[in-house]
Structure 1
Amino acid sequence: MWGIELRDKSEISLARQIFLTLKQRILAGQIAQGEALPSTRELAKGVGVSRNTVSEAYDMLWTEGFIVSRQGAPSRVAEGLQITSGNAAPNPERTKEPTPILWDFKTGQPDLSLFPRQLWSQMIGQAASHLSVRQLAYSSPRGYWPLCEEIAHWLLRSRSMEVDPEDIFITSGATQALHLLVDLLYREGHAFALESPSHQGIRTVIGDRGYPLHWMPVDNQGADISTLRDQNVAAVYVTPSHQFPLGGILPAGRRAALIRLAMANDFYVIEDDYDSEFRYAVAPVSPIYSMDSSRVIYVGTFSKTLFPALRLGFAILPKPLQARWKHHRMYMDVQNPILEQIALAEFLNKRKMDKHVQRMRRVYGEKRNVLLRSVERSFGSSVQPWGDVSGLHVALQFPGMEFGESFIRACREAGIRIASVSQYCSIPGDHQDKLLVGYGHLSHGQIEKGIEALHEFIARGVEGS
């Protein structure tokens, strides 16, 4: 009756099921405004429930304003409630099911199967069992103080960085840090300088706010700093230790020039230390922060090192920015979840991070070698790798070829997920001869078979052109 179908074993009460069904039909226009509802006795008999159950459902409708009632008259549907048409014709065009991804070369994906989950679970459990009443309350927008101290020790061990824990602020990954920094550093009439190509995340953060951008072309040594001269700059964002996506290392001369420009023109440098833990040929590259901490904001994350769902990162802030950062963070979300911060502090303190990074550096180094051998075996020596000495992806240059959006879509339809470097460029067509191949999350066999599949796909395209 009235389209009401009740489920006896549902966790939703029978009265609320009646209420929800009638509400939905009213909003869809299937029960017209002004239409009289059946009496509680009649509806109860029709759907096989007690009269009290129907009365409770009608009370819900009346309380929320879906029906109006007068003593001695039937309840009627209130005016002006229809939102959608109950008779709308179904869309004849059904969304096509996407082709399953067989070979996934997505970038930035760590190998989560090797993360020590049991150890992490134990540390989370210990953090929960020792949680004090005070730690259940709101804390400082700085973050958990022992974690700030452990991050400072970790940076000294891993990067030879001497950092005051007072300057470290915990974030929900690097993304939140960038959101906060863009708003903190913006000045009217001044542009944010970004590398081209660069990560879409920072471009989106700035672009969504409508702030102006200045592009710095990137070569195999990173950003061309000379383009900043005579520019009104709010801040410069760089990935100097492993440029994303081309992988170059910003040389000391360009770093020094960047710092001099920042000092002379009163702007800050945002240093995103992208994938610097995983360097395979030599020791990790020293950050720009080590050259001058007064003009550099260092941003780091544990998402790639440990696991993305952790959502913990940090920013090292010069003193003049700290009060405003605390204000913005206080009215954004105050703090990160405490259990994960406590567990991560313990993970760092017990040197479990050091052990995990050492292991993964070896694992990823082996995968990198498998990838490069597979590329040479399938494509020969004509295909040149960029940025192959660190990180979880490689840029492959195919001289004389062009990989546009249609190629990327065709790959996806063939079950291959891959990106072109041109997708990350400010000027359409730049670096169109390069593909990005992520390998951190893949097994040796998946890498080998995936490169073979990519070679066959490209060969078919060349033969059919």
Structure 2
Amino acid sequence: MWGIELRYKAEVSLARQIFLSLKQRILAGEISQGEALPSTRELAKGLGASRNTVCEAYDMLLTEGFIVSHQGAPSRVAAGLHLTTKKAPVPAARKQEQAPILWDFKTGQPDLSQFPRQLWSQLVHAAANNLTTQQLEYSGPKGYEPLCEEIAHWLLRSRSMEVKSEDVYITSGATAALHLLVDILNKAGHAFALESPSHPGIRTVIADRGYPLQWLLVDEQGADISTLQGKDICAVYVTPSHQFPLGGILPAGRRAALLRLASEHDFYIIEDDYDSEFRYTGPPVSPIYSMDSSHVIYVGTFSKTLFPALRIGFVVLPKQLQKSWRHSRNYMDVQNPILEQAALTQFLHMRKMDKHVQRMRRIYGEKRKVLLNSLENTFGASVQQWGDASGLHLALCFQGMEFGKQFVHDCRDAGIRISLVTQYCPMNDHHKDKLLLGYGHLSHIQIQKGIQALYEFIAERA
């Protein structure tokens, strides 16, 4: 009756089924405005349902304004409800399924098999039991204060950074921090200066807002500060401890030059320290922040140290930016999940982070050696490594070769996932002879077989 078909075994109640069916027909114009609906007794009899069920459905229609009702008169459809809807586009035919990835050299992926999941589970469980009722309320845009204190201690132990916990602000990862900083630091008519190549994330954040960009060329020592025009700059984004993606360490002279420009022209340096704890030929490189913190915003993350799904990062902010940060964060997402913050606080406090990083540095260092030996045994002297001995990926220069998008596509068809350095260059006209190989998540056998597969693939195309 009235196009209503009741499904008695459905999870949706019969009353809601009647409501939804009538609502859909009203919006489609199948039941016209002003048209009278059957009485509840009549509709119940026609559907084989109880009158109470139909009354409940009519109450829903009345509450949401789909019908009007007056005592002693039939319920009628309210005016102005007919919606003209467009037909949904026919979905495109599915592309042919790609071959499975057999050798995955994606970048930025830690070895998650080594993460102490049982301990982490215990810490999260303990946090759920031990947090007070007050701590489960909105905590504000700064973050969990005990975590800020532990991060300040961690930075001192791991990077010799003297940081006050009051200047540490928790974020939903480094990307969220960059979203906030770009809007806070923007000045009309001033550009953001970025390394070229650099991670597309920061480039996209700025470009999507229509803010102007200026490029810093990168060589084997990182960003070339001499190419920076300090005038009309609002901020400079750099990865000085391990330039992404080429891997160079910014020398002290270039750091000092950048700090002088920031002071002279009153702009800020965004220092993204995404993986400097994984350095294999000595201790982590000191950040620019340690030289002069007055114009430096230090951005850190735990995504590569622990696991990517842990969306917790942090910034160390100069005092003069903290009010703007609190305002912007308060109206973006307010805060991070408290249980993960509390668990991470204990992970740091118990020095489990120190032990985990020390262990992973050894594991990644061994994998790096396997990768370099495999490259030497297959490609020989035709391949040169760029950058410092740190991080979870290698930038490799293949002398006399050029790689483009078709190469990546063909590699993918052959079961090899690989990245080009050119995809991180804004103009795609530099570093065409370089590939990026992530290795942190791979086993020794996967690395060896993957390099052999890559060698054979390139040899076939030569």
Give TM-score, length-normalised by structure 2: 0.91
Q: Return the letter of the residue paired with 1:433.
A: D
Q: Tell me: CA distance 1:48–1:150, structure 2 relative to 1, closer, same or farther (3 Å).
A: same
The residue number in structure 1 matching 2:55 is 55
Seen in structure 2, the aligned counterparts of structure 1 residues 457 and 26 have a Cα distance that, compared at 3 Å, is farther
Structure-2 change in CA distance of 1:91 and 1:184 (3 Å) = closer
After TM superposition, give the deviation of residue 221 of structure 1 in Å. 0.7
2:82 aligned residue:
81
Distance 1:326 1:92 in 2: 44
Please identify, of 371-380 and 218-227, the stretch whose mean Cα deviation from structure 2 is larger: 371-380
Structure-2 separation of matches of 1:378 and 1:230: 45
Asked whether the 8 Å contact 1:398–1:434 carries over to 2, the reply is yes
Q: Is 1:310 equivalent to 2:310 in the alignment?
A: yes
Cα shift readout 1:430-461 (whole Å, capped 9, x = no counterpart): 2122222112122223223333333343344x
The amino acid of 2:352's aligned partner reads K
Is 1:196 aligned to residue 199 of structure 2? no
SS of alignment partner, residue 382 of structure 2: coil
Q: What whole-Å deviation, never above 9, does each CA across 1:146-199 have from its counterpart, x for those lacking one?
A: 212211111111111111222211111111221221122111111111000111
Q: Which amino acid aligns with 2:172?
A: S
- The AA in structure 2 aligned to 1:91 is V
Aligned match of 1:411: 411
Structure 1 pair 409–64 and aligned structure 2 pair: CA distance change class (3 A): farther
The alpha carbon displacement at 1:416 in A equals 3.0
Deviation (angstroms), 1:323: 2.2
Shift in alpha-carbon separation, 1:183–1:448, aligned structure 2, 3 A: same
The residue aligned with 2:300 is 300
**Residues 437, 56 of structure 1: alpha-carbon distance in 2 compared, 3 angstrom cutoff:** same
Give the secondary-structure state (helix, strand or coil) at the position aligned to 1:234.
strand
- Whether the 8 Å CA contact 1:368–1:388 is kept in 2: the answer is no
Which segment drifts farther, 411-420 or 33-42?
33-42
Secondary structure of 1:385 counterpart: strand
- Correspondence 1:238 to 2:238: yes
| Partner Cα separation in structure 1 for residue 82 and residue 196 of structure 2 | 51
Counterpart-to-counterpart distance in 2, 1:2 and 1:90: 29
CA-to-aligned-CA distance 1:384-417 (integer Å, 9 cap, x gap): 2223611111122222322222332333344433
The aligned residue for residue 169 of structure 2 is 169
Structure 2 counterpart of 1:345, one-letter code = T
Aligned length: 459
| Alpha carbons 2:242, 2:388 under 8 Å: kept | no
Unaligned runs of 5+ in 2: none
Matches within 5 A, 1:333-412: 333-387=333-387, 389-412=389-412
8 Å contact kept, 1:33–1:79: no
Distance across 1 between alignment mates of 2:416 and 2:149 = 43
Q: CA 1:427/1:39 → structure 2, altered by over 3 Å: closer, same or farther?
A: same
Comparing 445-454 with 63-72, greater Cα deviation is found at 63-72
Greater alpha carbon shift after TM alignment, 320-329 vs 405-414? 405-414
Which residue does the alignment assign to 1:423? 423
Query: How far apart, in 2, do the equivalents of 1:240 and 1:360 lie?
Result: 22
Which aligned pairs between 1:214-229 and structure 2 lie closer than 5 A? 214-229=214-229
In the other structure, the counterpart of 2:249 is 249
What SS is found at the alignment partner of 1:380? helix
Local SS of the residue matching 1:436: strand
Would the alpha carbon gap of residues 82 and 166 (structure 1) be closer, same or farther in structure 2, given more than 3 Å must change?
A: same
Distance in 1 (CA, whole Å) between partners of 2:268 and 2:2 is 66
Inter-partner Cα distance in structure 2 for 1:417 and 1:335:
36
**Cα distance in 1 for residues equivalent to 2:79 and 2:160:** 70
Instruction: Say if 2:148 and 2:168, in contact at 8 Å, map to a contact too.
Output: yes
Question: 8 Å contact 1:368–1:439 — kept in the other structure?
Answer: yes
Q: Does 1:11 align with 2:11?
A: yes
Structure 1 unmatched runs, 5+: none
The answer (yes or no) to whether the contact 1:26–1:77 under 8 Å persists in 2 is no
Paired AA for residue 94 in structure 1: A
Separation of aligned partners in 1, 2:220 and 2:317: 29
Worse-superposed segment, 233-242 or 110-119 = 110-119
What amino acid sits opposite 1:233 in the alignment? Answer: I
Q: Does the 8 A contact of 1:419 with 1:436 survive in 2?
A: yes
1:315: Cα distance to partner? Answer: 0.8
Query: Which stretch of structure 1 is more off in the superposition, 37-46 or 284-293?
Result: 37-46
1:39-54 correspondence runs (5 A): 40=40, 43-44=43-44, 47-54=47-54
Q: CA deviation at 1:68?
A: 5.2
The 3 A distance-change label for structure 1 pair 89 and 356 is closer
Contact kept in structure 2, 1:276 and 1:285, CA below 8 Å: yes
Deviation at 1:230, TM superposition (A): 5.1
Alpha-carbon offset, residue 105 of structure 1: 2.0
Quick one: structure 1 residues 440 and 230, their matched pair in 2 at CA, closer, same or farther if it must change by over 3 Å?
closer
Q: Helix, strand or coil: the match of 2:385?
A: strand
Q: Could you tell me how far 1:104 is from its partner in structure 2?
A: 2.4
What is the match of residue 448 of structure 1?
448
How far the C-alpha of 1:244 sits from its partner, in A, is 0.5
* Aligned residue in 2 for 1:91: 90
Contact 1:243 1:274 in 2 (8 A): no
Stretch deviating more after TM superposition (123-132 or 44-53): 44-53
The one-letter code matched in structure 2 to 1:82 is: L
In terms of mean alpha carbon deviation, does 73-82 or 14-23 score higher?
73-82
Change (3 A) 1:47 1:434: farther
Residues 213, 38 of structure 1: CA spacing in aligned structure 2 closer, same or farther, 3 A cutoff? same
Q: Deviations over 1:127-155 (max 9, x none)?
A: 22121222122334222222122111111
Q: Deviations over 1:55-111 (max 9, x none)?
A: 3223323332344567655744854433435xx487273222542433322211111
| Cα distance, 1:277 vs structure 2 | 0.8
Q: Identify the residue that residue 122 of structure 2 maps to in structure 1.
A: 122
